[in-house]
Each structure stands twice: as structure tokens, then as C-alpha cells.
């Protein structure tokens, strides 16, 4: 979108968030703004889908659309965004392009590991946070990455 938008007339017809979205040329996504080029990627679409599942209960082995385990949420989100992932967190790690922390972007997968074994996965939301389905009794939520034992992967 170009900057040739007449913002005052838009203010009269749209809410503040919509006007900011138009004026900045970005798409609103939790937890922040994502530009149009990024929004077109499968990873960013998957991030938006995962965020839309906020509050869905954890279910062991569940792959949606109403209950999820950790890898079930990532599988579901990327499938809806047009990308196929294997079922488990370890298999998903094995199928992604591995990245350094400095290369991570919103929509990349964050894999928690103990030694060489991956035990949890979430979708990077920016700002050191992930969308994930943590454990029995919990719900899909946005949470700060709590461990330094993480690897990053980009879905190809």
C-alpha cells in the first residue's frame, strides 16, 4: 500500500486500529504488526492461525480444531496455511531448516530440547514469545520463551 492515503477521511469511517493499519501499510497480528510482504508467507499465516486458537484446551495427541497438544497446534496451523508438517515435535524439527537465534523470524518454529531430544514446540511470535499449547490442564497461549535450551526451525 502506498502512503497516498487520505487519513482524515478514513478516521471518520474506520476505527483507530484500522486507520493505523492502512496508514502504516501493515496487517495487524498478535502480538504486533507484520508488514504486507511478511503476511503473505506461510509462516506468518500459521502464526495468525495459532494465535486465533488462544484459549483452546490442551489435549494429549490432539490436532485440532478445538483441542491441541504442542505439535498438534503447529501441525494444524501450518496445514491451514498450506504447508505439511509431520506429527511430532522431533519429526517437525527434523523437517525444518535449522536457524541461529539471530535468524529467527515471526512464524518460525521454536523447539525445546533436552540434549539431542526435542520435547516441545511452539510458533515464534516475536519479542521472545511463542504461541503454544503447553501441557495438560492448560490452554493455547502466548508465553515468553522460558529456556535457553531451544533450537529454531523454518518450515520450507
Determine the pLDDT at residue 143.
98
Gyration radius from the chain CA atoms: 17
Proportion of the chain above pLDDT 70, given as a percent: 74
**42 tagged catalytic:** no
Whether the Cβ atoms of residue 73 and residue 64 lie closer than 8 Å to each other = yes
Determine the pLDDT at residue 57.
98
Quote the CA–CA distance of 38 and 107 in Å, as a whole number: 10
Q: Which residues of 34-50 are buried (b: 16+ CB within 10 A; e: fewer)?
A: beeebbebbbbbbbbbb
**113 tagged catalytic:** no
In the predicted model, is pLDDT for residue 39 greater than 80?
no
Alpha helices in 68-126 (DSSP H): 70-80, 89-95
In the predicted model, is pLDDT for residue 92 greater than 60?
yes
- Backbone torsions φ then ψ of 77, nearest 5 degrees: -65, -45
What band does 73 get if pLDDT is binned at 50, 70 and 90?
A: very high
Q: Which of 6, 98, 113, 120 is catalytic?
A: 120
What band does 64 get if pLDDT is binned at 50, 70 and 90?
A: very high
What band does 124 get if pLDDT is binned at 50, 70 and 90?
A: very high
What band does 16 get if pLDDT is binned at 50, 70 and 90?
A: very low
**70 tagged catalytic:** yes
Whether the Cβ atoms of residue 85 and residue 127 lie closer than 8 Å to each other = no
Alpha helices in the chain (DSSP H): 7-13, 16-24, 36-39, 42-52, 70-80, 89-95
Q: Which of 6, 70, 98, 113 is catalytic?
A: 70
Q: What is the mean pLDDT of residues 97-105?
A: 96
Amino acid at each position: 500500500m502506498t502512503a497516498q492515503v487520505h487519513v482524515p477521511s478514513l478516521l471518520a469511517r474506520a476505527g483507530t486500529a484500522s486507520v493505523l493499519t492502512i496508514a502504516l501499510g501493515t496487517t495487524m497480528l498478535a502480538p504486533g504488526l507484520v508488514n504486507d510482504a511478511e503476511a503473505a508467507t506461510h509462516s506468518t499465516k500459521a502464526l495468525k492461525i495459532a494465535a486465533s486458537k488462544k484459549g483452546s484446551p490442551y489435549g494429549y495427541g490432539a490436532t485440532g480444531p478445538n483441542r491441541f497438544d504442542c505439535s498438534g497446534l503447529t501441525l494444524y496451523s501450518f496445514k491451514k496455511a498450506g504447508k505439511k508438517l509431520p506429527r511430532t515435535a522431533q519429526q517437525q524439527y527434523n523437517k525444518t531448516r535449522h536457524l541461529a537465534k539471530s535468524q529467527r523470524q515471526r512464524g518460525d518454529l521454536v523447539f525445546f530440547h533436552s540434549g539431542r531430544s526435542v520435547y516441545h514446540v511452539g510458533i515464534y511470535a516475536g519479542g521472545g514469545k511463542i504461541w503454544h499449547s503447553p501441557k495438560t490442564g492448560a490452554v493455547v497461549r502466548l508465553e515468553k520463551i522460558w529456556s535457553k535450551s531451544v533450537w529454531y526451525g523454518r518450515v520450507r
